[in-house]
Amino acid sequence: MESWDLIIIGAGPAGLTAGIYGARSGLKTLVLEEKTPGGAAAETPLVENYPGFSGGISGRDLVDKMAEHCRKAGAEIKQLERSIELNVKDERRIVKTDRATYSASAVIIASGCHYRELGVPGEKELRGRGVSYCTLCDGPFFKGKKVIVIGGGNAAIVSAIYLANLASDVKLAHRRSQLRAEEALVKDLHAQKVNVLWNTELKEIRGDVKVKSVVLFNSKT
C-alpha cells in the first residue's frame, strides 16, 4: 500500500490548487482523478474571466497549465483512476480506487459537481457553443442576443433575471403551470422583461457550430 501525507480526490481547478499548496508545503501529495485533469472547466471553449488572461484562454489550455504547475510543485497526478472508498484506520485515511489502495494522513475531497443535463438531442454537441449551465460565467456571451432559460426553480429564475439585463430577448420555459422558486424571486422575475412559457418542455437544440434554434413542446396545446 502506497503511503502519502496528503491525497486529493479530484483534479479540477480546486483539486489542482490544493495539490500545489500541499506539495509546496513539503507534503508528499497525490492527486487522484477518474478522468483527465481539468473537470468541467476543461470543457469551456473560452475562459475570459480568469486573472492573467485578458485575451481569454481555452478551458483545456488553462487546466493543462494548472496541472503542469501542480506537477512542477512536486505533486503526483494519477488520472483515469476512480476513487471508490474512503475509510479511517487508526490515524490514517485509506483510499481505495479501482486500481489500488493508498493511505494518507489527510484527504481533501475536491470531486467537483456535475451540471444537471436535460438529455435532449443537440445538448451535448452544442455545450459551450450556446448551451450553458453557468449564467454568471457565460452571461456576457449572450449580450444583445435571444436566449431561453429552462426550468422553474431558484437557479432558473436567478439566471433569467440576470440575463434580462444583458440579452435582447429572454424567455423562460417551464414544464408546469406554476414556478417552484421562492416568492421573492418570482416577484423580481415579473418585474423584468421575461416572457414565461408555461407547460413547455425543451425537446431539441439545433445548430451546427453554434445554437441556432430550439424545439419546444407545450403540453396544453
pLDDT in tens, 174-208: 999 999 999 999 999 999 999 999 999 999 999 99
Catalytic residues: 134, 137-138
Give CATH superfamily name and number for 2-109. Answer: FAD/NAD(P)-binding domain (3.50.50.60)
What are the boundaries of each domain within the chain? 2-109, 135-218
Within 8 A by CB and 6+ apart from 155, the residues are: none
Work out the pLDDT band at 39, boundaries 50, 70, 90: confident
Report percent pLDDT > 90 for the chain.
87
CATH 3.50.50.60 describes domain 135-218: yes
Task: Give the predicted TM-score (pTM) of the model.
Answer: 0.73
Mean residue pLDDT of the chain comes to 95
- Do the domains 135-218 and 2-109 match in fold? yes
What pLDDT is stored for residue 47 in this prediction?
86
pLDDT above 80 (res 45): no
> Band of the pLDDT at 118, cuts 50, 70, 90?
very high
